């Protein structure tokens, strides 16, 4: 199953004619995993032709308006949609007080459960097939970077053989978990449908707003995709230091040190209508650098890695 990243907002601080404020959506197996939820995020979601998803998990990096103010109207929209499935929200503890005030003052009892998950430095949220790790960065006193990472497996289920053999789909999960299944008198042995080897553990890091920070470097180590804020050109490094942000060059230096595969720059100052100069600066240091544009899609494919591939490096 592929993982898709959708950039719903790539501007810093304020929306522009071309860019909305911060929000990143990771879609995996029908789950919608949001990182930040700035003003207008739900409109961007609909502009992209996407829905909220059956499973919604929202991770907030810090409590600045351009990262959270789309959350409140989205909750009201989900209420109008008569959603009943739980919505999980992760973020600095003060965020939950704000949400409770909102719900109280609009006098709207939500028809779904809100699950609050306070974020602290080093916390790990385990969702079975993947985990999300958080580290405190250097922007505000309660500001975090996140790493989404699948758990590694030593085997994978051979879908192609299952289809060839006419194995009913109702049996696939049991076989994949190593249990034999008998259907209509026919025995299907799990060992016949398990491929030994490893499934590539895909990982995505979202920096949030931050100055360059060693914890973010370590969090990003060997990631498939590092999505890092790139608020300024390097000529404004002093401005970046003052506001606790990062330049494109600094983001590239982090990507190089962490040995990531791809760097995606986002969170651009509204002063830059054309961000090609930021990308050019960064590529001198880390060639695999790209800029995020609103509604861009980036797909990380599902790749099986077999023993002979692992041995060859």
Query: pLDDT of 254-305, one tens digit each?
Result: 999 999 999 999 999 999 999 999 999 999 999 999 999 999 999 998 765 4
Q: Is 66 part of the annotated catalytic residue set? A: yes
Give the Cα separation of 256 and 275 in Å (integer).
20
Helix 71-80 and helix 94-105: axis angle, to 10°? Answer: 50
Q: Which of 36, 66, 158, 294 is catalytic?
A: 66
Give the confidence band of 307 by pLDDT, cuts at 50, 70, 90. very low
Share of the chain above pLDDT 70, in %: 94
Per-residue pLDDT at 142: 93
Q: Is the pLDDT of residue 306 over 80?
A: no
Could you give phi then psi for residue 95, rounded to 5 degrees? Answer: -60, -40
Q: Is the pLDDT of residue 188 over 60?
A: yes
3-152+201-312 CATH pick, 3.40.50.1980, 3.90.1150.10, 3.60.15.10, 3.10.129.10: 3.60.15.10
Domain range annotation of the chain: 3-152+201-312, 155-196
Give the Cα separation of 27 and 7 in Å (integer).
11
Q: Which helix (H) or strand (E) holds 115?
A: strand 114-118
Per-residue pLDDT at 198: 56
pTM: 0.85
Listed in sequence order, the DSSP H helices in the chain are 41-47, 65-68, 71-80, 94-105, 159-164, 172-176, 214-219, 237-243, 248-258, 276-283, 307-312
Q: Who contacts 81 (Cβ-Cβ below 8 Å, separation ≥6)?
A: 52
Give the Cα separation of 103 and 101 in Å (integer).
6
Q: Is the pLDDT of residue 182 over 90?
A: yes
Per-residue pLDDT at 305: 46
Q: Is the pLDDT of residue 108 over 90?
A: no
Q: Is the pLDDT of residue 173 over 50?
A: yes
Q: Is the pLDDT of residue 312 over 60?
A: no
Find where tokens 């030593």 sit. Answer: 154
Find where tokens 């490096």 sit. Answer: 313
Per-residue pLDDT at 197: 63
Cβ-contact 245, 212 below 8 angstroms? no
Average pLDDT over residues 120-141: 94
Q: Is the pLDDT of residue 309 over 50?
A: no
Per-residue pLDDT at 303: 63
Q: In the predicted model, what is the mean pLDDT of the chain?
A: 92
Give the Cα separation of 251 and 240 in Å (integer).
12
Average pLDDT over residues 149-158: 78
Of 87-91, 103-107, 274-278, where does mean pLDDT reach its minimum? Answer: 103-107
Give the Cα separation of 272 and 269 in Å (integer).
6
Give the confidence band of 311 by pLDDT, cuts at 50, 70, 90. very low
Listed in sequence order, the DSSP H helices in 151-297 are 159-164, 172-176, 214-219, 237-243, 248-258, 276-283
Give the confidence band of 76 by pLDDT, cuts at 50, 70, 90. very high
Average pLDDT over residues 221-234: 98
Give the Cα separation of 44 and 9 in Å (integer).
8
Cβ-contact 224, 258 below 8 angstroms? no
Find where tokens 């409770």 sit. Answer: 100
Average pLDDT over residues 130-155: 91
Q: Who contacts 258 (Cβ-Cβ below 8 Å, separation ≥6)?
A: 217, 218, 220, 221, 222, 223, 226
Q: How many residues in the chain?
A: 313
């Amino acid at each position: 199953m592929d993982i898709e990243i959708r950039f719903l907002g790539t501007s810093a601080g304020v929306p522009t004619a071309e860019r909305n404020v911060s929000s990143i959506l990771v879609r995996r197996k029908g789950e919608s995993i949001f990182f930040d939820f700035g003003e207008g995020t739900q409109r961007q979601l609909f502009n992209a032709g996407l829905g909220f998803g059956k499973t919604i998990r929202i991770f907030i990096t810090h409590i600045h308006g351009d990262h959270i103010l789309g959350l409140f109207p989205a909750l009201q929209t989900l209420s109008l949609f008569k959603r009943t499935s739980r919505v999980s929200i992760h973020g600095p503890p003060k965020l939950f007080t704000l949400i409770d005030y909102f719900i109280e003052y609009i006098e709207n009892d939500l028809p779904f459960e809100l699950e609050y998950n306070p974020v602290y430095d080093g916390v790990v949220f385990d969702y079975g097939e993947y985990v999300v790790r958080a580290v405190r960065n250097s922007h505000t006193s309660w500001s975090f970077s996140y790493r989404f990472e699948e758990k590694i497996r030593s085997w994978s289920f051979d879908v192609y053989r299952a289809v060839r053999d006419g194995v009913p789909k109702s049996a696939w999960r049991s076989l994949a978990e190593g249990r034999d299944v008998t259907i209509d008198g026919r025995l299907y042995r799990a060992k016949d449908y398990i491929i030994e080897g490893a499934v590539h553990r895909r990982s995505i890091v979202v920096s949030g707003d931050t100055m360059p920070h060693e914890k973010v470097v370590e969090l990003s180590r060997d990631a498939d995709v590092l999505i890092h804020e790139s608020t300024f050109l390097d000529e404004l490094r002093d401005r970046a230091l003052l506001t606790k942000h990062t330049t494109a060059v600094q983001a590239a230096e982090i990507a190089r040190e962490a040995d990531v595969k791809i760097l995606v720059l986002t969170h651009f100052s509204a002063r830059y209508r054309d961000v090609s100069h930021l990308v050019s600066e960064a590529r001198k240091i880390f060639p695999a650098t790209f800029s995020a544009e609103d509604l861009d899609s980036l797909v990380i494919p599902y790749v099986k890695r077999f023993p002979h591939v692992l041995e060859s490096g």
